[in-house]
């Protein structure tokens, strides 16, 4: 056998041996990883069941006994002894969050108290010092879920944070914890509020027990267009017609979106007395807002408005022509209803 062939066989043998070694190492790594993942899952399930059992003990301590506080204190001590790792703290917080979604009223308040007693509220506040956005958002979420009012100042510091996920949690914290009073952040916010976040805020307000609404006039005058749009929706939903004078000034707002929205609010409430304001402003309005004005007239027009409406009977804009037809029909019906019946 030639020396070259021998060398080639030797190289092939060495490569095959190396590949076998690498393959063996990979198999060991996969096996060990799966073993630790399995152990971790087992620990999670076991620890979660343990916390659930302790939580039940805490919630359903015999209220007829004077030792209720002593029993709850014992449960707190038992839980605290397990909180030596971050993973256990996370499992406990997740368990408490899950329980909050299944209970309400007095029971929910007891869970909130337990969260504080275990000093988890301070842990949540400490998360706000993190440089990682998801850790900060997680901290604010926990403060919201467990109604930690004392964190108001720390959370407020993020109201204009450039990271949208953090701002979203800030909005929900103030609404969920403080209700309509929590809307005070609207007076400070400079960043955009997305449509999705506006829907979330309105939904959270709807679910809030305290429906005592503060004066929203100052927010209608905000330089932040999203604050104005959100406030206009509040006016519509909660019938805040005491703001009408301020609403009328918004017909001259620099932003078309706000002008259209305020006209739609007038339409919603059939505010007939603002008709002269809109008709005076009409010639200088862009087409979309002119269409909104005619939609407004569909429900509030009177015989006095006929002279204005007929001028647009041959308008090139289809939506306006369609509205003109409806308005003239309405006016005709009004005229017929006011005519004396012939006997």
* pLDDT confidence of residue 277: 95
Cα 271-272-278 angle, rounded to 5 deg: 90
Supply the pLDDT for residue 37: 72
Residue with tokens 């060991």: 28
pLDDT value of residue 36: 73
Kindly report the pTM of this predicted structure. Answer: 0.81
Question: Per residue in 274-303, pLDDT tens?
Answer: 999 999 999 999 999 999 999 999 999 999
Comparison of pLDDT for 14 and 331, the residue scoring more:
331
Average pLDDT, integer, range 103-118: 89
CA geometry: angle 165, 262, 200, nearest 5 deg: 25
Q: Average the pLDDT over each of 23-37, 139-153, 289-303 and give the range with the smallest value.
A: 23-37
Q: How confident is the model at residue 69 (pLDDT cuts 50, 70, 90)?
A: confident
| Contact (Cβ atoms closer than 8 angstroms) between residue 289 and residue 279 | no
Q: Angle at which helices 3-59 and 68-80 pack, to 10 degrees?
A: 170
Instruction: Give the pLDDT mean for 239-260.
Output: 95
Q: In the prediction, which pLDDT does 340 show?
A: 61
The region of weakest confidence among 22-31, 118-127, 217-226, 240-249 is 22-31
pLDDT at 42: 66
Q: What confidence score (pLDDT) does residue 62 get?
A: 57
* Total Cβ atoms within 10 A of residue 268: 14
**Residue 3's pLDDT band (cuts 50, 70, 90):** low
Say which residue, 337 or 96, is predicted with more confidence: 96
Q: For the ranges 29-33, 164-168, 311-315, 331-335, which has the lowest average pLDDT?
A: 29-33
For residues 46, 50, 52 and 58, what is the CA-based torsion angle, rounded to 10 degrees?
A: -170
d(CA 169, CA 166): 5
Confidence of residue 234 (pLDDT cuts 50, 70, 90): very high
Work out the percent of the chain whose per-residue pLDDT is above 70. Answer: 92
What is the mean predicted confidence (pLDDT) over 47-52?
A: 85
Is a pLDDT exceeding 80 seen at residue 341?
no
| Per-residue confidence band for 155, with pLDDT thresholds at 50, 70 and 90 | very high
Find all residues with CB under 8 Å of 166, minimum gap 6, and list them: 133, 136, 137, 140, 158
DSSP calls for 194-206: -HHHHHHHHHHHH
CA angle 227, 163, 157 (to 5 degrees): 70
């Amino acid at each position: 056998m030639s020396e070259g062939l021998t060398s080639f066989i030797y190289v092939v043998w060495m490569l095959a041996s190396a590949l076998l070694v690498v393959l063996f190492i990979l198999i060991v790594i996969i096996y060990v990883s799966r073993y630790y993942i399995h152990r971790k899952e087992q620990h999670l399930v076991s620890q979660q069941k343990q916390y659930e059992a302790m939580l039940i003990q805490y919630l359903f301590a015999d209220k007829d006994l004077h030792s209720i506080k002593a029993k709850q204190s014992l449960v707190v001590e038992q839980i605290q002894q397990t909180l030596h790792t971050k993973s256990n703290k996370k499992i406990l917080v997740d368990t408490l969050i899950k329980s909050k979604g299944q209970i309400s009223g007095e029971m929910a308040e007891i869970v909130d108290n337990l969260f504080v007693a275990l000093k988890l509220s301070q842990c949540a506040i400490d998360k706000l010092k993190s440089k990682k956005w998801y850790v900060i958002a997680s901290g604010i979420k926990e403060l919201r879920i467990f109604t930690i009012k004392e964190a108001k100042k720390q959370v407020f510091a993020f109201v204009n944070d450039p990271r949208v996920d953090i701002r979203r949690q800030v909005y929900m914290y103030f609404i969920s914890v403080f209700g309509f009073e929590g809307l005070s952040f609207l007076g400070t916010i400079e960043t955009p509020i997305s449509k999705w976040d506006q829907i979330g805020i309105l939904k959270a307000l709807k679910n809030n027990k305290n429906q005592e609404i503060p004066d929203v006039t100052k927010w209608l005058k905000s330089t932040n267009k999203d604050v104005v749009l959100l406030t206009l929706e509040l006016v519509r939903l909660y019938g805040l017609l005491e703001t009408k004078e301020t609403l009328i000034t918004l017909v001259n707002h620099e932003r078309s979106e706000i002008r259209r929205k305020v006209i739609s609010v007038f339409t919603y409430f059939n505010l007939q007395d603002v008709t002269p304001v809109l008709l005076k402003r009409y010639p200088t309005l862009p087409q979309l807002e002119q269409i909104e004005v005619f939609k407004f007239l569909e429900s509030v027009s009177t015989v006095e408005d006929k002279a204005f409406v007929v001028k647009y009977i041959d308008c090139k804009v289809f939506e306006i022509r369609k509205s003109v037809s409806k308005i003239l029909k309405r006016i005709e019906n009004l005229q017929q209803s006011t005519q004396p019946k012939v006997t």
